Amino acid sequence: GALCARYLRSTFYVNSDGMDLVHWYELAQLLSRLSSGWLSAPSQVQLWYGGAHELEMAGLLVALANDMGLIGLALLTILLYMRVFFGGWRLALLASLQIFLSLPFMYWIVTVPFGQTELAAFAGASLWVVLGVSADNIFVICETWGQSTQLVRSGRPASPAERLTWTVRQAGAPLLFANGTTAASLLINCFSSLPAIFQFGLCGGVLLLTNLALGVTYLPALLVLQDSGVLDGSGEAGEEEREAERRSRSRVLQAVHGGLWR
**Average pLDDT rounded to a whole number, residues 203-209:** 93
Cα separations in angstroms, 123 against 50, 95, 128, 157, 195:
23, 25, 11, 47, 9
Give residue 246's pLDDT.
Answer: 63
**Average pLDDT rounded to a whole number, residues 41-51:** 56
Q: What are phi and psi of 187, to 5 degrees?
A: -65, -20
Average pLDDT score over the chain: 80
The CA radius of gyration of the chain, in Å to the nearest whole number, is 25
Least confident segment among 2-6, 62-66, 219-223:
2-6
User: Which H or E run includes 135?
Assistant: helix 126-147
**Average pLDDT rounded to a whole number, residues 64-83:** 83
Give residue 104's pLDDT.
Answer: 92
Least confident segment among 11-15, 93-97, 183-187, 210-214:
11-15
- Confidence bin at 51 (pLDDT 50/70/90): low
**Average pLDDT rounded to a whole number, residues 197-225:** 92
Give residue 3's pLDDT.
Answer: 46
**Model pTM above 0.75:** no
Give residue 2's pLDDT.
Answer: 46
- Confidence bin at 252 (pLDDT 50/70/90): low
Q: Would the pLDDT of 119 be above 50?
A: yes
User: What is d(CA 58, CA 61) in angstroms, rounded to the nearest whole number?
Assistant: 5
User: What is d(CA 211, CA 103) in angstroms, rounded to the nearest whole number?
Assistant: 9
